[in-house]
């Protein structure tokens, strides 16, 4: 569903679980209430297709050329977000499309130490998957990072992100 201007009625955020050697790449931001980790990604532009938007976001944030990787991204999970956000009136809405992408060791070695398009100096960190599952992660996919998509009882749809299940830092 889109508005009359071609902009999605619900903003879509594409992001990726980038894995190599049992670790996942995360963006770490220091917040007053503790570290905030997020999966690399961002919002789709109006009329932008999901694969193109994910490739653009990973190039902008990490300098990653998705087309040069051995395998394309694979949709892993989807999470609906309906929350409030400190300092913003009304409801904060997103639909997160979480992809899985294996990164070769030599590509990982070329990743920047800080997010390329962030003005806040957010750090790019690699964390063991088991540790990442317990972090304050955005979107709130942490505990399910260790489950393969489509495994018994899991499916692709994550529980919604709400004010009852997630607190902004």
The correct answer on CATH 3.40.50.300 for the domain covering 12-162 is: no
pLDDT at 150: 44
Residue entry with tokens 């532009």 = 45
pLDDT at 25: 97
Using a 10 angstrom Cβ sphere, with 0-12 exposed, 13-18 middle and 19 or more buried, the burial of residue 16 is: buried
pLDDT tens across the length of the chain (169 residues):
444 455 558 999 999 999 999 999 999 999 888 899 999 999 999 989 999 999 999 999 999 999 999 999 999 889 999 998 888 888 889 999 999 999 999 999 999 999 999 989 899 999 999 999 999 999 988 876 776 544 544 578 888 888 898 888 8
- In the chain, where the domains are located: 12-162
pTM of whole model > 0.75? yes
Of 126, 107, 100, 163, the C-alpha closest to 37 is 126
Residue entry with tokens 């394309």 = 72
pLDDT at 67: 96
Query: At a CB cut-off of 8 Å and minimum separation 6, what does 105 contact?
Result: 20, 21
pLDDT at 8: 59
Q: What are the beta bridge partners of residue 102?
A: 19
């Amino acid at each position: 569903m889109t508005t009359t201007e071609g902009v999605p009625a619900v903003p879509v955020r594409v992001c990726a679980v980038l894995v190599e050697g049992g670790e996942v790449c995360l963006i770490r931001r220091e917040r007053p209430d503790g570290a905030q980790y997020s999966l690399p990604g961002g919002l789709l532009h109006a009329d932008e297709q999901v694969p193109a938007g994910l490739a653009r976001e990973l190039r902008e944030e990490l300098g990653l050329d998705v087309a040069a990787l051995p395998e394309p991204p694979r949709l892993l999970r989807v999470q609906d977000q309906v929350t409030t956000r400190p300092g913003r009136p009304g409801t904060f809405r997103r639909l997160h499309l979480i992809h899985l992408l294996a990164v070769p060791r030599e590509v990982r070695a070329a990743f920047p130490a800080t997010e390329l398009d962030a003005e806040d100096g957010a750090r790019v960190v690699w964390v063991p998957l088991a540790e990442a599952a317990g972090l304050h992660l955005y979107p709130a996919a942490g505990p399910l990072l260790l489950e393969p998509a489509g495994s018994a009882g899991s499916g692709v749809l994550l529980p919604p992100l709400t004010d009852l299940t997630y607190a902004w830092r």
